[in-house]
Structure 1
Amino acid sequence: MNNASPLLRAPAGPRRPGERALAELGLAAPAANPADASPHTFPDAGAWRTEIPSVEGPEALAVVLDESARLDVPVHRVSQGSGVWMLSDAEITEMAGACAARGIELCLFTGPRGTWDTGGSTRTGSGGAGLRARGQDALAGCLEDALRATELGVSCLLVADEGVLWSLHRLRERGLLPAGTTLKVSALIGPVNPASVTVYERLGADSVNVPSDLTAAHLTEIRRVSGVPLDLYIEAPDDLGGYVRMYEAAELIRRAAPLYLKFGLSKAPGIYPYGAHLRDVALNTARERVRRGRLVLDLLARHGADGGMSPLGSRLPGPLNRFSVNPKD
């Protein structure tokens, strides 16, 4: 027997947060504009997938896998921020095997970046060139990381430089990287307008982590010109703004599909580059990211908006628009 107030009972279909209570008070919002909805999906017809970020090694991955099983949180992708070069061959192999056994895409960051090398401009107020690969040697390091990781079974590479992205795409087109390798653009260089998203797609991106402060209207603008999968922190780390957008999750999916919901964590210490000295923080925050994911999924379910998830094991982006890799074109 359901004794809940009529205003709190589950609706027949998707609803906005608080919409019936607001309507009762004469504060109903306008109906959603169907023209704002994204016309795109993943190739499996799903609108959204999930990602757990900052999974920095085998121990953190084990925590994520255990906790996601305990809380019944579906995981399509896990990503790591410290970089391929911060992991041993044995660690990469262990992570790749554990992810492959569960149909989860493993994404590792490529190589040297400007924020960690000798360039002083990244430590100025302007931030200089940020994470981009400074010079030939840094570019070479990123490509070396990519080749090593894919040889060890890694299926997704995270990049923070347009030149690295284009170079990896060209290697993939030439068969020097496996054809099924996916390339993911980092949130730290994420584009913020439709034209720039299109450029990243054409350079070889298979998913683009747009900044977490983009509005729903911005996402609709992007979706009018590009169908490349987007990644968006539903809760962002503090160095990306610390935004918590759980109540917007359904609308973000509606506007931005195909979309990876990233379960980040605000008010948490930075752990890049990760090592054993940060073990407790890394494991505790990994566990909490999964719990935050459960909260988002519960919220979607309460609003009748939890349909449309890609099947577990899905990872490819479908056909995308690319620049020609033939220099004569």
Structure 2
Amino acid sequence: MVARGFARSDHELPTSTKRFPDGAQCRVEIPSVEGPDVLDAVLAEADARGVPLHRVSQGSGSLLLTDAELARMAATAAGRPVEVSLFARPLTGWGAASAASHAPGGRGLAAQARGTEQLVHVLEDIQRAVEAGIRSVLVTDLGVLETAASLRAAGEFPADLQFKISVQMGLSNPASIALAERLGADTYNVPTDMSLGELAAVRAAIDIPLDVYIESPDDMGGFVRHSEIADIVRVAAPVYLKFGLANHPGIYPSGTHLDPVTVALGRERVRRAQIGLERLRRTMPEAVMSEVPAVGLALPVGAGRAKA
């Protein structure tokens, strides 16, 4: 279109020179992988479609997995290998005293740890995941992040444990996200609707990878941003391209009663990733994707290795 005289509105945005440890600009994440059966289906679909898969994440947390299910997810991912990031729960929205978090003006409270008791419960949930071999957890609360990072620094949590910040933390300006980085965040999931200019400003302020939804679920905006994928890689690298799914039913808290739905949704997310990556190859063939396995991933380890 530029050749026909149409100028791009984002032509002055800086190109990020920051990279993953292996020199790559981008990696792929599939979210909402709610349990071992969904993980198996997502891995099989990725193989069938030739989609490189670096990380899967899960919203219900280890809290709603049995010991056997948790161990199976860790073992499957370690054998692949692929990073598994489990939500650290419980949080206010799932608690009994959560009326305010369900009110229109209080929904931002839902993803916070409420009171000392819930702070302790979340840390215990992280410890249980660690003991099963998981090395990546999703965090939404700044106090949880700072406390968990201090436990990691003190050797109470393993040194290779990574804190992936959830989109639900909601910080959306360079100063706030830089604060999360200083408190111990290893990757940061920005709000789903950040513009390219806003992404570029955040990237200039921090060094950790950004997690950016290329497609987001309805309760996070329902955006489909495949047409922007090359620009997102260019301005936000290093970036996890996160393929959620618009137009699907709510699944949280999840469980085996929803397996037919969550398995189908997981497979479709991989299909959407194929669509996005095909677009990326057409519009930015020089983009560098990490090989699998990739340097720096928080891969699961053998059960029982709770300390570094």
* Shorter-chain TM-score tier: over 0.9
Tell me, yes or no, if structure 1 residue 32 matches structure 2 residue 11. Answer: yes
Name the aligned partner's letter for residue 251 of structure 1. D
Tell me, yes or no, if structure 1 residue 94 matches structure 2 residue 72. Answer: yes
Name the aligned partner's letter for residue 296 of structure 1. G
Can you give the 5+ residue segments of structure 2 that lack an aligned partner in the other structure?
A: 299-308
User: Could you say what secondary structure the match of 2:85 adopts?
Assistant: strand
Instruction: Tell me by how many angstroms 1:30 deviates.
Output: 7.2
Q: 2:306 is matched with which residue? A: none
Tell me, yes or no, if structure 1 residue 236 matches structure 2 residue 212. Answer: no
Tell me, yes or no, if structure 1 residue 272 matches structure 2 residue 249. Answer: no
Asked if the contact 2:230/2:284 (under 8 Å) is kept, the reply is no
Q: 1:321 is matched with which residue? A: none
Identity of paired residues, percent? 44
Tell me, yes or no, if structure 1 residue 214 matches structure 2 residue 194. Answer: yes
Alignment of 1:1-329 (within 5 A): 19=1, 23=3, 25-29=4-8, 32-33=11-12, 36-118=14-96, 119-126=98-105, 127-305=107-285, 307-314=287-294, 316=296
Name the aligned partner's letter for residue 86 of structure 1. L
Distance 2:250 2:279 in 1: 27
Structure index of larger Rg: 1
Deviations 1:131-188 (A, max 9, x none): 1010111111111111111111101000111111111111111111111111011111
> Taking structure 2 as the reference length, what is the TM-score of the superposition?
0.92
Q: 1:8 is matched with which residue? A: none
Asked if the contact 2:21/2:295 (under 8 Å) is kept, the reply is no
Asked if the contact 2:26/2:290 (under 8 Å) is kept, the reply is yes
Asked if the contact 1:228/1:317 (under 8 Å) is kept, the reply is no
Name the aligned partner's letter for residue 240 of structure 2. Y
Distance 2:138 2:148 in 1: 11
Instruction: Tell me by how many angstroms 1:67 deviates.
Output: 0.2
Instruction: Tell me by how many angstroms 1:307 deviates.
Output: 2.7
> Taking structure 1 as the reference length, what is the TM-score of the superposition?
0.86
Asked if the contact 2:22/2:295 (under 8 Å) is kept, the reply is no
Q: Return closer, same or farther for 1:203/1:31 CA change in 2, 3 Å cut-off.
A: closer
Name the aligned partner's letter for residue 27 of structure 1. F
Distance 1:217 1:307 in 2: 20
Instruction: Tell me by how many angstroms 1:37 deviates.
Output: 1.1
Can you give the 5+ residue segments of structure 1 that lack an aligned partner in the other structure?
A: 1-18, 319-329
Asked if the contact 1:190/1:208 (under 8 Å) is kept, the reply is no
Q: CA RMSD in A?
A: 1.7
Instruction: Tell me by how many angstroms 1:74 deviates.
Output: 0.4
Distance 2:281 2:63 in 1: 40
